[in-house]
């Protein structure tokens, strides 16, 4: 449970930095921050939500989806495609929100 809170804190600061770096047009730095965000996912398989705990399969699928969308964002940034980076960032954020809607109390 402690790991899960640490993960969420890393997600929050990671997403904030990403938004700033994308805003500044620093695709390279932003891509590095996506790597950190992906690294913060390590061990998510052991996380369990407090709310709707029986829907653990769905919970893990949302984590997997988060990983996929973050990797897409990383690719877009590595290609220095800032226009698509905004949409890809939005997609990652949507998955944060989707999981919170269902599983955060
Ligand atoms: C698979 C589900 C899931 C995903 C995806 C997810 N979260 Fe969370 N998040 C939770 C749950 C559940 C909580 C409630 C606290 C808990 O149970 O640990 C939470 C809590 C938080 C908190 C409050 C601090 C805390 O630990 O309670 C922040 C900030 C947060 N999430 C940020 C994010 C961000 C940013 C993203 C996307 C990059 C994200 N989360 C993606 C499930 C998720």
The CATH number given to whatever domain includes residue 60 is: 1.20.120.290
Domain range for 95 is 2-103
Q: How many domains does the chain have?
A: 1
Please tell me which residue, 1 or 45, carries the higher pLDDT value. Answer: 45
Q: Which residues are near ligand 1 (CB < 6 Å)?
A: 4-5, 8, 11-12, 15, 49-50, 59, 62-63, 66, 92, 95-96, 99-100, 103-104
- Return d(Cα 27, Cα 11) in angstroms, integer: 18
Output the pLDDT for position 2.
Answer: 74
User: Looking at residues 3-27, what average pLDDT do you find?
Assistant: 96
For residue 22, pLDDT beyond 90: yes
The number of the ligand 1 atom at minimal distance from the alpha carbon of 103 is: 12
Report CA(104)–ligand 1 centroid distance (Å): 7
Q: Tell me the average pLDDT across 77-99.
A: 97
Q: Which band of pLDDT confidence, cut at 50, 70 and 90, is reported for residue 105?
A: confident
Mean pLDDT across 36-64:
96
Q: Are 88 and 34 in contact (CB under 8 A)?
A: no
- Mean pLDDT, to the nearest integer, of 23-46? 97
The confidence band for 85, taking pLDDT boundaries of 50, 70 and 90, is very high
The atom of ligand 1 lying closest to the CA of 6 is 26
Give the number of other CB atoms < 10 A from CB of residue 36: 13
Residue 1 in this model has a pLDDT that exceeds 70: no
């Amino acid at each position: 449970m402690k790991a899960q809170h640490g993960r969420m804190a890393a997600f929050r600061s990671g997403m904030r930095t990403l938004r700033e770096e994308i805003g500044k047009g620093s695709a390279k730095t932003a891509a590095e921050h996506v790597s950190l965000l992906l690294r913060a996912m390590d061990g998510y398989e052991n996380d369990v939500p407090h709310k709707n705990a029986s829907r653990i399969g769905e919970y893990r699928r949302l984590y997997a989806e988060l990983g996929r969308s973050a990797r897409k964002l990383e690719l877009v940034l590595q290609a220095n495609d800032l226009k698509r980076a905004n949409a890809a960032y939005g997609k990652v954020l949507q998955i944060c929100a989707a999981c919170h809607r269902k599983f955060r109390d």
